Amino acid sequence: MLAVAVWSAGFACAQSSAVTNIPSLGINLLLIDHHTFRSSAKVRGGVLTEHLTPGSHHLLFYFGPSATNQNWTSRLRYQLDGLETDWQEAGGEMRIGVFFYSTNSEIVGNIIYPVRGDSKGWRGSLENSTFNRHLERVVVPEGARSMQVKITSGDTLETVGLIAFKDFKVFQSGGTNAPRVNLWPYTSLNHDTNAAAPSPKLAGWAPGGFPSRMAQVLALPSGQRILAVVDDSRNGYAEWISEMFYFRDDIQPGDSLELIWQQLFTVGMAAGRSVDYSHVAPGNYTFRVKAVSPLGAELGQQSSLAICIPNFIWQTTWFVTLVLILAAGGLGYWVRYLTRRRLQFRLERLEHQRAVQRERERIARDIHDDLGANLAQIAMLSELAQTDLHHPEQARQRLNKIFDVATSLTRQLDETVWAVNPLHDSLEDIIAFLGNFAQEHCRLAGIRCRFDMPEMVPSLALTSAPRHNLFLAAKEALQNAVKHSRATEVWIRLQLRGEDLIFIIEDNGQGLARAENQPPGTSGGGNGLLNMRRRLEEIGGRFEIESRPGQGTTVRLILFGAMKSSRPSHGAAPGEMAG
């Protein structure tokens, strides 16, 4: 008899308390996933050394009284604590049977109504319990001419308990409005011959079975007599059998009968049996078995077996707690990330607003400096021209000067509009605009202008500020070459060096004189060179100049990191354009 706890050292499992067993009742065998755990298994410290693996298991228990106890008559109930909340009957079944016979006394049909466990009205004793009304509709089978009723505890010999039966009636179902008449002649049990006899005989009913003393006639507190089978033997059975009820001529095969009776029962099993549980989830369980009297009264006899099925690691408390902590940390990180992104977005918006404001200020400054100065010059020349109306030659010179200033002013306005127009935010546009400006400027000065561009011009976006500063710096370098270098040829080159973009304006003129204390690449000059250097520094670039007397001048406008988001596109091959 297995009398130890099955335990696993897996996660979330704790050893159960002491196991309770009695010598005459116990759990004889346990199968876990079809592997047997017997009392002969190795035991250490009162615990079975075999450990269960994590996850669900199939459990099969065999339990019952000792094989040497031949006088056992108690019913058995079981419960898997941790899975079931109520005690379950170990089995047992009594029956109410209705049998149909032909004119030759041959059985032509039968209906069995089994009863198991406790009826709804059972309260532990006959006096405290209430009967339940039961109704069945049956169809008279073909060839049936009589009917008999049997109440028996003989499903299995080990069945014990009580079934009480009274007020059995038979009605013929029909569609008429006539009053219904009970056809069963043995409904009343009050005219018994000798109810106190060991085997009482009633009109219409006869006891049977072995020992037949278990077929009894009992009296209710109201005085009404009832039929009862009180089975307290695991080796016998008892029954009540009615006399044959012969149908009247108006009851034919195929007719419907209503059978109505009152019943009360408590039924169990007084023998060992097995019970299995499929897919038992991880957890702590205790399988309990107890003995009760044939009528269900507690006897204080109980055995138990503790079992612990471990969780998978992801089902344990500490793992779930860790996951929750990590989830909370991840959520906190995500909230922090979103907060930082929102703050960064706000900063970018503010920076964009500041950039727009700087661009507006630059445009206003350029318009004020260039447009204002030129308009002031036009106004002054116009006033002088009015005073020289009597001197035609001087007036004509004043008007020509006004025309030149207006032409220059128009060109400056075109440059300003081009700089702020987002449709021209590309490297190709700045090359085209600078090329047109260089051709026109060099053509007027009689200087040959050459262009050296890569075969594939990258598709590079340049916003207004870097585009405008880059163009003004290149324009300043071209104007210096045209006005001061005495050059006959000017080269405009575009080089791509890694992620850097380099514009080179080179001439073959007379060059610049460099002071002895100036390093190479930083040749001195007037405000024009300082303006070019300042413009490149504003857009994160660098201005370089190399010049020697008699060897020309090379200006490099370097824009760092401009090629990070570029993609190549078709461009013009190296060539020359003469002005």
DSSP 286-309: EEEEEEE-TT--EEEEEEEEEEEE
Task: With H, G, I as helix, E, B as strand and everything else as coil, classify residue 564.
Answer: coil
What pLDDT, on the 0 to 100 scale, is given for residue 234? 86
Of 77, 94, 110, 67, residue with least CA distance to 157 = 94
pTM here is 0.56
Query: Which pLDDT does position 201 carry in this prediction?
Result: 61
Residue 189 predicted with pLDDT over 90: no
Residue showing tokens 């346990």: 30
Q: Alpha-carbon distance 157 to 72, whole Å? A: 13
Peptide bond connecting 211 to the previous residue in cis, omega within 30 degrees of 0: yes
Measured CA to CA, the distance from residue 446 to residue 482 in angstroms comes to 9
Residue 522, pLDDT > 60, answer no
Q: 171-175, 278-282, 369-373, 405-409 — which is least confidently predicted?
A: 369-373
Q: What does the pLDDT read at residue 372?
A: 66
d(C-alpha 494, C-alpha 281), whole Å:
75
Summarize pLDDT for 1-53 with one digit per residue, the tens: 443 444 443 444 544 443 445 557 878 878 888 877 654 444 343 334 345 78
Q: In the prediction, which pLDDT does 39 show?
A: 43
Q: How far apart are CA 291 and CA 303, in angstroms?
A: 9
CA distance 208 to 221: 26
DSSP tag of 507: E
pLDDT in tens, 378-429: 777 777 777 777 777 777 777 778 777 777 777 777 777 776 676 777 888 8
Instruction: Name the β-bridge partners of 267.
Output: 117, 161
Please give the CATH topology (third level) of the domain spanning 424-579: Heat Shock Protein 90 (3.30.565)
Sign of CA dihedral 577, 493, 501, 495: positive
- Let me know if the fold of 5-89+272-312 is the same as that of 424-579: no
Can you give the pLDDT at residue 176?
60
d(CA 563, CA 460): 7
Domain ranges of the chain: 5-89+272-312, 94-269, 424-579
Look at residue 214 in the predicted model and tell me its pLDDT: 93
Query: Rounded mean pLDDT of the chain?
Result: 81
Which residue would you say has higher pLDDT here, 507 or 441?
507
Residues belonging to the chain: 579
In CATH, the number for domain 5-89+272-312 is 2.60.40.10
Mean pLDDT within 240-269: 94
Cβ atoms within 10 Å, residue 137: 10
